[in-house]
Every structure is written in structure tokens, then in C-alpha cells.
A and B are shown apart, each in its own frame.
Chain A
């Protein structure tokens, strides 16, 4: 029995039905306000369209539609407990006129306005329904009490029969009404919840981002975070290069210089053993400088930061034992991550040319076409280059994929080999 009572009347004790009722009642107030505001703003902007003020006014109205959306989503979340996914923020850029066009084409804004207009009739329905449901149910449920609490009304005649209120059959009737009211009271939370669900459905259809939009939003978030991580690893490499340059490299040069001076001093003495030891240390220090320099260049070449891809690739070519021709047509500096990737593409491809291809000559081509950097490395060697796991070209493929580029290797047995890479470099 207690379980049954709890099942039927429990919802009345919980806050949900009250919050939902408040929400449904408030719908009318909100609806009147929004309807008035939206109609006023729309007619004002359309009316003033002949003057120039209409355009910014309409823009403001559409942006206002977004504000309606976010406020209403917050109200739905607070009172109905449903979190609706928000739209991506309005993307506007460019000149004033472009921004205005972007704002006027903003679907979430217009849907917010439509919601504002629909809210009035909907609010009338929800308000009426809520008031009727509650007042009928409560008054019926409490009907028997009124007989005891209030003074009995005077007797009245009907068709010659005198009725005394509080007596049979009116007393029985009010008792029956009370019973029905109590039964209804159990149903009320469910009905209110049903109307609230319709309210949520309305808000969801007009104010929430749909699945495709959410996916789109997620994709652009991921794009941003991927770009950030590529950029941060590139800048981390530049930082390491700087630190090595300022620290270890200078110290080693200084060490080698001091050893060089010691060597010169010792030249006049006849301590052969000491001369030999210092000469050895001097050579080792110089060797360490060369090794560290090569290592640092492998991490991130300074000339790439200073002068860009063309200069850095020229330097690579100058170091390549195979004669390489460079055709480069890059009118502007590219984003650092693109430059770094392109540099390592050429470096790895040329290493491959020098090590494995037996080529007699090679050609590097760098062109920017339609916001894409195209890199081609041709050689006239024996072919057979693959991007098998663990090889240098495989690492290249991963690196290129990191900036959403594409790598193709054409290397039939007998040659020639063409490594071509396409990197997006839109600003």
C-alpha cells in the first residue's frame, strides 16, 4: 500500500513537477515578451531598410535571435533539466558588409527569432493547460474539506425539493469529487511532464545544434587542437634549437678556443706528452662541435626560421653529394609548421637519393598553388623506393599526415623516382 502510494504520489513531493509547472506558466510571460520584441525589431528593421539604419538593425535582430536561443536553452536546462547542445559561435570576419551578410545568413539566429514568435501561441496553450489542470485537480481534491471548513451554505429549493448542503446526496457528491481529485492528483505530474516534453521538443528543434552541426563543430574543434599541437611541437623544436645554440654550442666553442690557445702556448715548450694530450682534446672538442651542429640542424635549421623554405632547401641541396637542381616559386613565407614539414620532406628525400638511388642528378620543385604547397623530388636513380615500416619515407608519410598533407611515391624498378607531397597552407 505504502509502495503504491509512493509510486503514485511520490512525484508530487519531488521538485520536478513544480519546476515544470513554473516553466510552463512562465512560457506565456516569455512568449509575450519575445513576440513583442521580435515583431517590433523585425518590422522596425524592415521599415527602416530604405534608410541604411535598417541593415544594422536587422543584423542586431538576428544576433538577438541567438541571444534568445542561449537564454532559453539556459531556462530549459534550469527548469526542465535538459541540456540542449549550443550552436557554434557566429563566425564572422572580413569587412563590415561581409560581416552583415554573414550575420543575416545565420540560421541559429533566425531560428531563435522563429522560436520567439512561436512562443506566444505556445505559451498561451501551456499556461492555460497548466492553470486548468492544477485548479481543477486541486479544487476537486479539496472539495470535501470545504464542507467542514466553511459555514454551510443556506438550504435551497429545486423543483419543490429542499436541499441541505452537507447532506446526502450533495455530501456524497463532494466526497466523490474529492476521490476523483485525489486520483487526478496522481496523474497531474505525468501530464505536466508530457507538456514539458513537448516544450523541450520545440526548443530542441529550433534552438539546439543538430547532429550534423555538432559533428561539424567537433571537427573544427579537433582541427584547431591538431593545428595547435603541430604548432606547439614545432615551436618546441625551435626552442630546443635556441637553447642548444645559446648554451651548449657556445660553451663548446669557448672550450675549443681555450684548448686552441693552450695548444699555441705549448708549441713553444718541449713537453711532448702535454702537447699531444692538448692536441687530442682540441680535436675532440672541434669534433663535438661539428656533431652537435649536425644534430641541431636536424632538429630545426636556423636558416629555415630566418629566411624561409627556399633558403633552407638551397642549403640542403648545397650539402647533397648528388647534383640537385632547385626550381622554387614561393612568393611568400608559409606557416612555420608547413615550412618545417616541407623542409624535412626535402631533407629525407635527398638523403634517400644520396644513400640508395645511385642517381646522377636530381631535381627539387617547390610551388604554391591554390593554398597548397607542392613539393616534388625527382631523381634519375634505380627506383624501388618504398615507404616500408621503419624506413625514412615512412616517417615522412606520418609527418606529412600530421599537417593533413598527402605523399605519393612513384618509384618503379629501374627508376626514375618521384616523391611528391602536397601540404595545405591556407592562411
Chain B
């Protein structure tokens, strides 16, 4: 797939480009700051945009602002946000515009090369990729603790992986159980949390996130 990267560290910009090339993806543009991101994306029409949160000129959160702007202007463009820190507040801002084709990962997740590329592909396909750390922060912040407390440890694990954006199959692989077992856990979770069951994975992620964020 064709990817645009915005990352101010040359080292990482080139590293990520190399890594993606290794898996057969093409980086069509690599930007050092976020100011021209929208124009570059409009020009290249990439399948995925990868943005670092902290970039020049102010070195605070312009990457995130650019990502939010991008999702507002071009909702169909999948965006994967990378950051040295994950903050629940940033995740909430990013997810406020929906969970289709969006990802928010700790930067260090690029070290687990295969998982990172999988997450990138998932986002590009319109899925979700949330860092486990974000998910656990969202869980901790959830204003609806009591129903969450009624989940078994295994169900919490499944819920957490779902919230990260993993498909049923991927959850099954991660937990080394059968897909059928995962299905059973999921329907039990949805019953306990009183969520409307849905066949569509993306919508289920959305439902879970909505629920956890307490909207």
C-alpha cells in the first residue's frame, strides 16, 4: 500500500520507511513536520498516513492536531498516530471522530515489527489499532466500573484486545484459543455490558470503546 509519513526524527523516518518497504509497502512521502501534511495527503491520496504527535514548530502536539484536522477534512483517509507517550486525553480527541481507520500506538511498538505492520494494515483497511496502554487507561478511567467488574479475567482480556482493534481471529491467535471460544466470550461480554450484538467487527470495537469511554 502507499503510505505518507510525518515524523521529525530523521532516524525514525528512515527506519520506518525501511521497515515498511521490507513488507512491500511504499512510502510515497516522508515529511519532517506537520504543517504541510494536509496538502501532501491531498496530493498523494495515500492508503495510510502515519503521524508522530510531537513535531516542529512547537514540538508539542501538532501531529495530533494535524491528524484530527485530516480526519475532519478527509474522513476516508486512515490515520495511524504514533507517540512517545500515550495519553487518554489524546485518544479521546482522536476517537471522537469515529473509530474507522484510526490508530494510536506508542512509538516503541515499531520495535515489534510484525505486529506494527499488522496494525498499520488494519488501520488502512478501515479498522482500529489502539495501544494496549491506551486501552488500559480507558478502562481505568471508565465511569462504569461495576459492570466491568462483573467480567471474568478472561473476558476482560478479550475485551481489552477487542478495544485495541483486533479481529476475533487475531484475538484467538493472541490468546491461543479457538475462534469459537472467543465468540462465546464476546457474546457473554456484550450481554453483561448490555450492548447490542453486532456481526461487524468495526462496529463492535466502536461499541466497546463508546462503552468504556462512558459516552
| Given contact pairs A250-B12, A289-B108, A260 touches B88 in the complex (Cβ within 8 A) | no
Chain B contributes a number of interface residues (CB within 8 A of A) equal to 31
Q: How far is the CB of A181 from chain B (nearest CB, A)?
A: 83
State in angstroms the CA–CA spacing of A302 and B61 once bound together.
Answer: 9
| Given contact pairs A249-B84, A250-B9, A314 touches B89 in the complex (Cβ within 8 A) | yes
Beta-carbon contact of B111 and A285 below 8 Å? yes
Residues on B with beta carbons closer than 8 Å to the beta carbon of A254: 9, 11-12, 15
Residues on B with beta carbons closer than 8 Å to the beta carbon of A250: 9, 11-12
CB of B107 closer than 8 Å to a CB of A? yes
Beta-carbon contact of B110 and A302 below 8 Å? no
Q: Which of B12, B54, B61, B111 lies in contact with A307, CB distance below 8 A?
A: B61
Beta-carbon contact of B108 and A286 below 8 Å? yes
Name the residue in B22, B87, B137 with the highest tally of chain A Cβ atoms < 10 Å from its Cβ: B87
Beta-carbon contact of B85 and A319 below 8 Å? no
Beta-carbon contact of A256 and B60 below 8 Å? no
Residues on A with beta carbons closer than 8 Å to the beta carbon of B15: 254, 257-258
CB of B114 closer than 8 Å to a CB of A? yes
Beta-carbon contact of A261 and B22 below 8 Å? yes
Name the residue in A263, A303, A317, A320 with the highest tally of chain B Cβ atoms < 10 Å from its Cβ: A303
Q: How far is the CB of A300 from chain B (nearest CB, A)?
A: 12
Q: Which of A259, A302, A319 lies in contact with B111, CB distance below 8 A?
A: A259
Residues on A with beta carbons closer than 8 Å to the beta carbon of B85: 293, 297, 301-303
CB of A272 closer than 8 Å to a CB of B? no
Q: How far is the CB of A100 from chain B (nearest CB, A)?
A: 40
Residues on B with beta carbons closer than 8 Å to the beta carbon of A305: 60
CB of A222 closer than 8 Å to a CB of B? no
Residues on A with beta carbons closer than 8 Å to the beta carbon of B110: 253, 256-257, 260
Residues on B with beta carbons closer than 8 Å to the beta carbon of A315: 87-89, 137
Residues on B with beta carbons closer than 8 Å to the beta carbon of A23: none
Beta-carbon contact of A302 and B54 below 8 Å? yes
Report whether over half of chain A's contact residues are helix, strand or loop; otherwise say mixed.
Answer: helix
Q: How far is the CB of A385 from chain B (nearest CB, A)?
A: 23
Residues on B with beta carbons closer than 8 Å to the beta carbon of A320: 140
Beta-carbon contact of A256 and B141 below 8 Å? no
Q: Which of B11, B84, B89, B90 lies in contact with A245, CB distance below 8 A?
A: B84
Residues on B with beta carbons closer than 8 Å to the beta carbon of A290: 108
State in angstroms the CA–CA spacing of A301 and B60 once bound together.
Answer: 11
CB of B215 closer than 8 Å to a CB of A? no
Beta-carbon contact of B111 and A289 below 8 Å? yes
**Interface positions of A from 304 to 355, Cβ below 8 Å from B:** 305-307, 311, 314-315, 317-320, 323
Residues on A with beta carbons closer than 8 Å to the beta carbon of B38: none
Q: Which of A257, A258, A293 lies in contact with B84, CB distance below 8 A?
A: A293
Q: How far is the CB of B102 from chain A (nearest CB, A)?
A: 19
Q: How far is the CB of B23 from chain A (nearest CB, A)?
A: 9
CB of A242 closer than 8 Å to a CB of B? yes
Residues on B with beta carbons closer than 8 Å to the beta carbon of A263: 113
Q: Which of B9, B90, B107 lies in contact with A246, CB distance below 8 A?
A: B9
Across the two chains, which residue of chain A brings its CB closest to B113? A260
CB of B151 closer than 8 Å to a CB of A? no
State in angstroms the CA–CA spacing of A242 and B58 once bound together.
Answer: 11
Across the two chains, which residue of chain A brings its CB closest to B108? A289
CB of B154 closer than 8 Å to a CB of A? no
State in angstroms the CA–CA spacing of A323 and B142 once bound together.
Answer: 10
CB of B199 closer than 8 Å to a CB of A? no
State in angstroms the CA–CA spacing of A304 and B145 once bound together.
Answer: 27
Beta-carbon contact of B19 and A261 below 8 Å? yes
Beta-carbon contact of B111 and A306 below 8 Å? no
- Convert A50-83 into 0s and 1s, putting 1 for each residue whose CB lies closer than 8 angstroms to a CB of B: 0000000000000000000000000000000000
Q: Which of B11, B88, B113 lies in contact with A251, CB distance below 8 A?
A: B11
**Interface positions of A from 204 to 219, Cβ below 8 Å from B:** none
| Given contact pairs A245-B54, A253-B12, A314-B141, A260 touches B87 in the complex (Cβ within 8 A) | no
Q: Which of B90, B107, B111 lies in contact with A260, CB distance below 8 A?
A: B111
**Interface positions of A from 242 to 291, Cβ below 8 Å from B:** 242, 245-246, 249-254, 256-261, 263-264, 282, 285-286, 289-290
State in angstroms the CA–CA spacing of A317 and B12 once bound together.
Answer: 31
| Given contact pairs A261-B19, A314-B89, A256 touches B108 in the complex (Cβ within 8 A) | yes
State in angstroms the CA–CA spacing of A250 and B11 once bound together.
Answer: 7
- Convert A19-55 into 0s and 1s, putting 1 for each residue whose CB lies closer than 8 angstroms to a CB of B: 0000000000000000000000000000000000000
Known: A257-B19, A260-B112. 20 other contacts (CB 8 A): A242-B59, A246-B9, A250-B11, A253-B12, A253-B108, A253-B110, A256-B108, A257-B113, A258-B15, A260-B110, A260-B113, A282-B111, A289-B108, A302-B60, A303-B89, A315-B88, A315-B137, A317-B141, A318-B136, A319-B140
Q: What are 15 residue pairs bridging A and B, where the CB atoms are less than 8 Å apart in the complex?
A: A249-B84, A253-B108, A253-B110, A254-B12, A256-B111, A259-B111, A260-B110, A285-B111, A286-B112, A302-B84, A303-B85, A311-B89, A315-B87, A318-B137, A319-B140
10 cross-chain pairs, A with B, having the tightest CB-CB distances, nearest first: A256-B111, A318-B137, A260-B113, A311-B89, A250-B9, A306-B60, A306-B61, A289-B108, A260-B111, A254-B11
